[in-house]
Amino acid sequence: MSSTTYLKHQFLLSMPQLESDYFSSSLIYLCEHNEEGAMGIVVNKPSETFMDEVFEQLDLPQRSHIRSEIIYQGGPVMEDRGFVLHPRSEQRWKSSLELPDDLSLSTSLDIVEAIAAGTGPQEFLFALGYAGWGPGQLEEELGNNVWLSSPANLDIIFRTEPEARLSAAAADLGIDFNLISAQAGHA
């Protein structure tokens, strides 16, 4: 696959045939995709855990209104590790990957401390775990029509309700998933 076809900063939309899979009805933001594989964050699967539980577990004082912010199930890899997807700002964090469209993915404790104190990013998505693919694995899945890809849309990530994100990303492509069968056909 040439570098011009890598899907970094794209959405992956799970196709209906993944209905009994971990990734069923998932919308994934791809943070990285290259010859070594791909890494992304599921952005539409809220967990039953909230930020105040993370603050408590890390013994962080909570001066922020963020206490009831939902934590997302970012993927099945490293589910005990936090990933913060947020717009880039003047603030710098100890461990951040700068992404296109002025977006960053941060994994260091200092951003969680800032969020707890109310001095972190105003918009963010906190996820536990990530989705990962080895070399060629995502390309094979795309070839098997497991995923659709589309340009990422920050409004969908940060300003759309979680349960509406997948259909909003599909609508950006002019697709209504309600009209697509989960059964594959053969000509």
Say if 185 falls within a structural domain.
Answer: no
Say if 51 falls within a structural domain.
Answer: yes
Confidence (pTM): 0.90
Distance CA 159, CA 123 (A): 9
What is the pairing mode between strands 10-14 and 46-50? unpaired
What average pLDDT score do residues 148-169 get?
96
Say if 184 falls within a structural domain.
Answer: no
Say if 173 falls within a structural domain.
Answer: yes
CB 77 within 8 A of CB 130: yes
Q: Phi and psi at residue 123, in whole multiples of 5°? A: -110, 130
**pLDDT tens digits, one per residue of 44-55:** 999 999 898 888
Say if 186 falls within a structural domain.
Answer: no
Query: Can you give the C-alpha Rg of the chain in angstroms?
Result: 17
pLDDT for residue 142:
93
What average pLDDT score do residues 106-117 get?
92
Q: Residue 80 forms beta bridges with which residues?
A: none
Retrieve residue 84's tokens.
Answer: 């913060």
Say if 30 falls within a structural domain.
Answer: yes
Write out the residue range of the structural domain in which residue 57 sits.
3-179
Say if 187 falls within a structural domain.
Answer: no
Query: Would you call 98 helix, strand, or coil by DSSP?
Result: strand
Which pLDDT band holds residue 4 (cuts at 50, 70, 90)? very low
Distance CA 54, CA 47 (A): 13
Say if 38 falls within a structural domain.
Answer: yes
Retrieve residue 70's tokens.
Answer: 């939902």
Tally the domains of the chain. Answer: 1
CATH number, domain at 104?
3.40.1740.10
